[in-house]
Amino acid sequence: MDYSANVTYLFLEGHVELEKFRVAYFLIVLMVYILIICCNSIVISVIYLDKHLHEPMYIFIAALLCNSLFGTTALYPKLLSDLLCERPYISFGACTFQAFFIYTYGMAEFTLLSAMAYDRYVSICKPLQYPTLIKMSTVKKLLFFSWFLPSCENGTLVILTYRLQLCKFKLNRIYCNNYSIVKLGCGDIFVNNIYGLFVLTVAVFPPLIFIIYSYVRILDVCLKNSKDFRRKALQTCFPHLIIFISFTVTSCFEVINSRLEGGVSHIFSMIMSVENLVIPPLINPVIYGLKLQEILNRIKRIWTTKTHIFSK
């Protein structure tokens, strides 16, 4: 066990397992990051440029994709630089801030998904009330609180973590996780643990319960209507449902694995720990770009126009 007084830098020990194939991992991570930036930026740009897409559902989609860019930017640049270093270190302050941004991304994702579920619920179950319930002012408030509340909760988490005196400097991960940092502390970490569990409970369970409730109501309405109605409802809900399930499963694994280390192999643990910053940001633009006809048609029109211009 390594001890050091006044630890100011942490060693990301998880990278030790990646040393043999460091160049290959670097190229894979770089390719994934470029794909995430390009795919998300294309769909965001299409929604921003096309005034016909300035509707609540598409604005929520653009916000979700912006959140993906926010979360991955907190991870990938540092991860890429670490894969080129023999000794990947990070300052204590930078580590706590990386954890802050990644946690804010995760919590905002749940909040945005619940806002999108509310939009789908009103659209399908209360279509006549949709214009009054989902106004642009309502959308702006939902988006504001989707990032404001996680930022406040995680800001407090960072302050509580940063006040700790660390006795150990080896972080058995490839990026900074708040709970893993707290375990390096040599003082009383009871408050950190209690507040961490509180934030986790508030961030995950209310959105989770609300989304499940929304889909139960949507399913109930669909069963009472025609096949054509069910088909249209499925088309609008299916992308959201896939993203919700994917993000929930990967996030739950990361939370459980970070608190119950040792249950799975180290390599598998590292892969799964970054899944919620790889799979959702990659599949979100693909699913929404290909599944939602309006966005797909707009992308096709832009592509056709550009191709026609360059062919002249």
pLDDT of residue 6: 67
pLDDT score for 71: 94
* C-alpha to C-alpha distance for 146 and 140, rounded to whole angstroms: 10
Name the CATH superfamily housing domain 9-307. Answer: Rhodopsin 7-helix transmembrane proteins (1.20.1070.10)
Q: Which residues contact 237 (CB under 8 A, 6 or more apart)?
A: 120, 124, 215, 218
269, 257 contact by CB (below 8 A): yes
Spatial separation of the C-alpha atoms in residues 192 and 230, rounded to whole Å: 47
Sheet of 9-12, strand order: 89-91, 9-12, 170-171
What is the pLDDT at residue 34?
96
Q: What residue segments make up the domains of the chain, in order of their start?
A: 9-307
CA distance from start to end of the chain: 68
**pLDDT at position 119:** 93
Band (1; pLDDT cuts 50, 70, 90): very low
- In this prediction, residue 2 has a pLDDT band, given cuts at 50, 70 and 90, of very low
**DSSP secondary structure string, 89-113?**
EEEHHHHHHHHHHHHHHHHHHHHHH
* One-letter amino acid of 284: N
How many Cβ atoms from other residues are within 10 Å of residue 204's Cβ? 17
**pLDDT, tens only, 128-164:** 999 999 999 999 999 999 999 999 999 999 899 988 8
Q: pLDDT for 57-116, tens place per residue?
A: 899 999 999 999 999 999 999 999 998 887 889 999 999 999 999 999 999 999 999 999
pLDDT digits (tens, 9 = 90+) for 237-272: 888 888 888 888 888 877 777 766 655 666 777 777
Contact 68, 273 (CB under 8 A): no
The verdict on pTM exceeding 0.75 is yes
pLDDT digits (tens, 9 = 90+) for 221-234: 988 888 888 888 88
Backbone angles phi, psi at 7, to 5 degrees: -65, 125
The residue type found at 288 is Y
In terms of pLDDT, which residue wins out, 79 or 7?
Answer: 79
Residue whose entry in the numeric block shows the structure tokens 């109605």: 229
* Cβ 39 vs Cβ 286: under 8 Å: yes
pLDDT digits (tens, 9 = 90+) for 9-46: 999 988 877 777 888 889 999 999 999 999 999 999 98
Q: Which residues contact 288 (CB under 8 A, 6 or more apart)?
A: 43, 61, 65, 239, 295
Q: What is the pLDDT of residues 188-197, one digit of tens each?
A: 888 998 998 8
Q: Which amino acid is at 101?
A: F
What pLDDT score does 237 carry?
A: 85
Q: For residues 95 and 177, give the distance between their C-alpha atoms in angstroms, rounded to a whole number.
A: 8
